[in-house]
């Protein structure tokens, strides 16, 4: 008789045609952040078909929790998360299931994440009687936009009772069959800023009668770089980038009243997260004051750095090496944190967790473009990897040997 591992391996393989079918449907019908209603309805219908033992709730309007309590006794609660939202991009691929919603595309692969977590849910429902503890399947809205879906779900109680949380993201630069992660800080904090310089406008022929906000804003932009180069230790230094400087109406002879500076801070340390915004405000206010101007500040929602718990990382690493086809070669350690944002960090701020990647690269079919690219593709042969990791995490933590 096949061992449980062999049975699970077989079930993961058998569910893949459905995973691909679900993924293609979601890909063809993408929904933007905070507009995921059709995807939520589709996913809930599929979940209901698996088992009447799945307890399905909606902690927010556009998110889903599905709890599967094991039949073999009490144990911990393990959460597995997938995100569901798409991006405001026009799809440029030639796949037959390309987006049917103009200007909206699953260019970050959240359709794949959702489908593979559905696949894991179906497999795990079949072995529910062997589980000690509970699996919470987390289908999250709005990973791509503010307000953060993860933050809203945490506020709604999605992590209550959870002992560990795990998440996976597709990686078009990683070979099919491989997975990757790192302990500790895995992604940077993202702290966007919007500074308005309030001066005094007037005629360009008499600048002495004005408080020119363009000159002041330019001075502020240059001095913000001293925060990076001179005011925080090099080992803790953040990235501060000004990406927009706007002022005036296009007239050749009018000095405007205000100028606007927008940009982002990316930080991989507590010092960077805590001190850089404070230093930015202090610098801008001091320079504006020298000219007799003032500044106001708008700080959009912060996405904090993602920090993988060392114990959870070791569990994910072990599962990848033991459950994936290439054994130890299946797991690729990540050397450096990414400077992109991932609001999975909101879950990790309240519950120990680990976030990893799985490979979907295949240059022969054009599956090699970065996420957030209109030509993004994912090799469907890689989907079995994530499904097996999800199932393997539950097998490792909730199913006695």
**Which residues does the annotation mark as catalytic?**
304, 380
Is 216 in contact with 259 (CB distance < 8 Å)? yes
* Radius of gyration (C-alpha) of the chain in whole angstroms: 24
Q: Does 203 carry a binding-site annotation?
A: no
Q: Does 322 carry a binding-site annotation?
A: no
The residues, ordered by sequence, that sit 6+ positions from 114 with a Cβ below 8 Å of its Cβ are 22, 23, 26, 39, 43, 82, 83, 84, 139
* Cα(259)–Cα(391) distance, integer angstroms: 53
Q: How far is CA 40 from CA 30, 91, 295, 372, in A?
A: 11, 22, 43, 22
Q: Does 336 carry a binding-site annotation?
A: no
Is 365 in contact with 377 (CB distance < 8 Å)? yes
* Cα(103)–Cα(217) distance, integer angstroms: 35
* Cα(82)–Cα(63) distance, integer angstroms: 10
Q: Does 106 carry a binding-site annotation?
A: no
Is 117 in contact with 174 (CB distance < 8 Å)? no
Omega of the bond leading into 64 within 30 degrees of 0 (cis): no
Instruction: Pick out the residues of the known binding site.
Output: 108, 110, 144, 169, 372
Instruction: Pick out the residues of the known binding site for Mn(2+).
Output: 108, 110, 144, 169, 372
């Amino acid at each position: 008789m096949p061992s449980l591992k062999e049975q699970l391996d077989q079930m993961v393989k058998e569910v893949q045609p459905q995973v691909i079918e679900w993924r293609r449907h979601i890909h063809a019908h993408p929904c933007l952040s905070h507009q995921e209603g059709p995807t939520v309805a589709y996913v809930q219908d599929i979940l209901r078909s698996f088992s009447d033992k799945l307890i399905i709730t909606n902690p927010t309007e556009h998110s889903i929790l599905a709890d599967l309590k094991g039949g073999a006794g009490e144990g911990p609660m393990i959460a597995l998360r997938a995100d569901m939202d798409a991006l405001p991009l026009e799809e440029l691929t030639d796949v037959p299931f390309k987006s049917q919603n103009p200007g909206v595309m699953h260019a970050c692969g959240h359709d794949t994440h959702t489908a593979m977590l559905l696949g894991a849910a179906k497999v795990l429902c079949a072995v529910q009687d062997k589980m000690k503890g509970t699996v919470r399947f987390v289908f999250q809205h709005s990973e791509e936009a503010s307000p953060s879906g993860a933050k809203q779900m945490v506020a709604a109680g999605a992590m209550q009772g959870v002992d560990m949380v795990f998440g996976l993201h597709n990686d078009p630069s990683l070979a099919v069959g491989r997975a990757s992660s790192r302990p500790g800080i895995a992604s940077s904090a993202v702290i966007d800023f919007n500074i308005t310089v309030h001066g005094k406008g007037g005629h360009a022929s008499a600048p002495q009668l004005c408080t020119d906000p363009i000159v002041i804003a330019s001075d502020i932009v240059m001095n913000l770089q001293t925060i990076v180069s001179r005011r925080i230790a090099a080992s803790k230094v953040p990235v501060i980038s000004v990406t927009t400087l706007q002022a005036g109406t296009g007239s050749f002879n009018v000095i405007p009243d205000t100028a606007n500076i927008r940009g982002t801070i990316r930080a991989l340390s507590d010092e960077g997260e805590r001190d850089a915004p404070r230093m930015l405000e202090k610098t801008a206010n001091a320079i504006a004051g020298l000219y007799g101007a003032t500044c106001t500040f708008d700080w959009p929602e912060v996405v904090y750095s993602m920090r993988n718990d060392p114990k959870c990382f070791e569990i994910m690493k072990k599962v990848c090496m033991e459950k994936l086809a290439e054994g130890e070669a299946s797991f690729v350690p990540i050397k450096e944190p990414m400077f992109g944002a991932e609001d999975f960090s909101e879950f990790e701020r309240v519950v120990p967790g680990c976030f990893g990647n799985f490979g979907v690269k295949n240059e022969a079919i054009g599956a090699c473009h970065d996420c957030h690219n209109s030509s993004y593709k994912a090799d469907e042969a890689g989907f079995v990897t994530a499904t097996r990791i999800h199932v393997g995490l539950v097998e490792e933590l909730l199913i006695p040997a």
